[in-house]
Amino acid sequence: MAKSTPSRRRITVLGANDSVVVIGLGRFGQSLALELTQAGVEVLGIDTDEDIVQDLNGRLTRVVRADATKEEVLRQLGVPDFSHAVVAIGSHIEASILSSSWLLRFEVPHIWAKAITAPHGQILTQLGVPHVVYPEADMGKRVAHLLRGTIADYQDIGGGFAMVTANAPQSMVGRPLDKVGFRKKYNLNVVAVRQPDGSWDHATGETILAADDTVIVLGPAAVAEHFIDMA
């Protein structure tokens, strides 16, 4: 369970010697831990709930019933030597904050934590957790866009940016994208266009879109999610 050298790249790729500790094995933590295990990653799961631990026994590399807010417990389990850690505790906010603070103290190189509310996420960010995710809020937003039916896909990519897949609005059709000026006006970039055969191609300033073309647009989330209304 060697600690990998912290990378300067912001995207962290799991290497062959990397291992992940997942703290909290509720629906989110379990799904994450099982997916990683199936991908061949070494995973230690920790939860206080005996039934959950029994149920996952043999399905993760190791699963332990323990209180992850206790420094000694985490040390005994070798958590300071892990390269990656995910705190997947939501409603027990105090436990989420405490276990995250131990991971930060241990200087685990890659720490991710789930937040269930904005204040929860704000506390984790202020603590110094580098990756705070909001799976419920993100999924709710995404489904709302899908339900409206105007957007084929909506993906919050963090840092205030989102990627939207949708039919091109009328105002974008029939002129080169340079002339349409979406980037200048809204700070939105059309990055790809779907071809009639279903494959994707890069969009450039010279690309001329046809009615019903599907495009991928990247830009500030607040603008990108209203992209379709800019017709």
Binding mask 96-135 for ligand ATP (x = CB under 6 A): --------------------x-------------------
The tokens for 56 are: 């996952």
User: How near is the Cβ of 98 to ligand ATP at its closest, in Å?
Assistant: 7
**48 vs 165, beta carbon nearer ligand ATP:** 48
**114 vs 145, beta carbon nearer ligand ATP:** 114
Among 49, 107, 178, 201, binds ligand ATP (CB under 6 A): 49
- 220 touches ligand ATP by CB under 6 A: no
Among 20, 25, 44, 79, binds ligand ATP (CB under 6 A): 25
Let me know: does 226 contact 200? Beta carbons within 8 Å: no
Q: How many residues bind ligand ATP (CB under 6 A)?
A: 21
Let me know: does 227 contact 169? Beta carbons within 8 Å: yes
- 89 touches ligand ATP by CB under 6 A: yes
User: How near is the Cβ of 185 to ligand ATP at its closest, in Å?
Assistant: 40
User: How near is the Cβ of 143 to ligand ATP at its closest, in Å?
Assistant: 16
Binding mask 51-70 for ligand ATP (x = CB under 6 A): -x--------------xxx-
Among 26, 80, 109, 220, binds ligand ATP (CB under 6 A): 26
CA distances to 7, 51, 108, 156 from 83, in Å: 11, 27, 6, 26
- 48 touches ligand ATP by CB under 6 A: yes
**53 vs 151, beta carbon nearer ligand ATP:** 53
> Which residues of this chain interact with ligand ATP, rule CB under 6 A?
23-29, 46-49, 52, 67-69, 89-92, 95, 116
